[in-house]
DNA sequence: CCGAGTCAGTTGGATTTTCCAACTAACCTG
DNA sequence: CAGGTTAGTTGGAAAATCCAACTGACTCGG
């Protein structure tokens, strides 16, 4: 039996970065979402464009669907075929893809030619991340740990 | 032999998102970088706080070091011990962690209490991503594919 | 100087994931 | 009806990960 009042000192940090990676950090998940962001919605094309094997892709799409990140929309009755579309949650993954693409195009350049990205205004991808509250730019190191939170709002009962 | 002038129609999309995931997308890599962002620099603590097994963590840290994302700094001569620190490249991963944390704290809330994040101004994490060029906010769908690029700058010779 | 503890890994073997090519099922097209 | 498209599923091999234990080089307390 375990004692619920004691803190497990060796437990990994339960934070929202780790929670997000549970869903988005599995192999191929972000690439599948990239495809949907770019307007590709069908299984075969997503498989081709990502390079994921079909069985794993099936698994990832189910996970993303179960977590509410994407939804399956039927586009054919008789052979019952579906398209995969981003939900609101899935569309909001965009900043992650944007940050990743920007980091990578700065730091991962090599001889191999790769597709770059740009903003819809036509400019090369160069995102700036601001704090919505104070308007200041997020600098490395300006990300700090906050309090523990769960669904009904911050739970002050649990010992910090 | 393959013909270099022909496009492989079935090849996965070579883009900077995929390239970034090569380095940052491996299991535990982003969590290790999270720890360094939060000021944790030693092997045992990183292992504990992430939950990664020690052998895999060793491998990830080596990969990140080889890719220039982190560096090993010696802090003890005689038992030859090292700390892991972010390079400039590693520090610039922050926007990815910030976007991920923000997405997750919006969409991944459940009963389990998790550490949240905040900006150094004290406010809850609420990042806004703007295009540095036009100043407009990045909306889902405003991320578009750009031209192919490699190291010496955009190579106009390759057939699009 | 002995035993315990810390730190940063390494090792071996079990377990889990992923890969891959082939297969199915249900249609459509010529 | 032969062939193609679409969205998977299957089975077995290969690769990645997990885990607990071990090593080596120290430090510290007594």
Helix or strand or coil: residue B153? Answer: strand
Protein-covered nucleotides on strand C (Cβ within 7 A): 7-12, 17-22, 25-28
**Percent of chain B's residues with pLDDT above 70:** 89
Kindly report, residue by residue over B59-92, the tens digit of the pLDDT. 999 999 999 999 999 888 878 889 999 999 999 9
Q: Which residues of B touch A22 (CB under 8 A)?
A: 108
Contact B148, B154 (CB under 8 A): yes
Protein-covered nucleotides on strand D (Cβ within 7 A): 6-11, 16-21, 24-27
Backbone Cα Rg of chain B: 20
pLDDT of residue A126: 97
What is the C-alpha to C-alpha distance for residues A27 and A31, in angstroms, rounded to an integer? 8
Tell me: pLDDT of B7 over 60: no
Q: How confident is the model at residue B9 (pLDDT cuts 50, 70, 90)?
A: low
What is the C-alpha to C-alpha distance for residues A17 and B96, in angstroms, rounded to an integer? 10
Contact A72, A84 (CB under 8 A): yes
Q: What is the pLDDT along chain A (160 residues), one digit of tens a residue?
A: 333 333 445 789 999 999 999 999 999 999 999 999 999 999 999 999 999 999 999 999 999 999 999 999 998 887 888 999 999 999 999 999 999 999 999 999 999 999 999 999 999 999 999 999 999 999 999 999 999 998 764 444 444 3
What is the C-alpha to C-alpha distance for residues B56 and A44, in angstroms, rounded to an integer? 33
pLDDT of residue A9: 58
* Cα dihedral B145, B146, B147, B149 sign: negative
Helix or strand or coil: residue B143? Answer: strand
Which of B14, B37, B92 faces A115 most closely, judged by CB atoms?
A: B14
Quickly give A79 CA vs C26 C1' distance in Å. Answer: 5
Kindly report, residue by residue over B27-54, the tens digit of the pLDDT. 999 999 999 999 999 999 999 999 999 9
Domains, in order of start, for chain A? 16-92 (1.10.10.10), 94-141 (no CATH)
Contact at CB, A17 and B103, closer than 8 angstroms: no
Tell me: pLDDT of B14 over 70: yes
């Amino acid at each position: 039996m375990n004692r619920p009042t004691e803190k497990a000192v060796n437990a990994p940090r339960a934070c929202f970065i780790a929670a997000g990676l549970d869903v988005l950090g599995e192999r191929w998940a972000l690439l599948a979402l990239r495809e949907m962001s770019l307007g590709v919605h069908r299984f075969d094309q997503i498989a081709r464009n990502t390079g994921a094997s079909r069985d794993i892709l099936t698994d990832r799409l189910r996970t993303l669907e179960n977590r509410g990140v994407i939804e399956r929309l039927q586009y054919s009755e008789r052979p019952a075929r579906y398209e995969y579309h981003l939900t609101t949650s899935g569309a909001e993954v965009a900043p992650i893809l944007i940050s990743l693409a920007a980091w990578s195009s700065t730091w991962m350049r090599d001889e191999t030619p790769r597709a770059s990205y740009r903003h819809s205004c036509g400019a090369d991808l160069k995102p700036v991340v601001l704090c919505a509250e104070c308007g200041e730019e997020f600098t490395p190191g300006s990300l700090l740990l906050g309090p523990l939170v769960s669904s009904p709002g911050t739970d002050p009962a649990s010992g910090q």
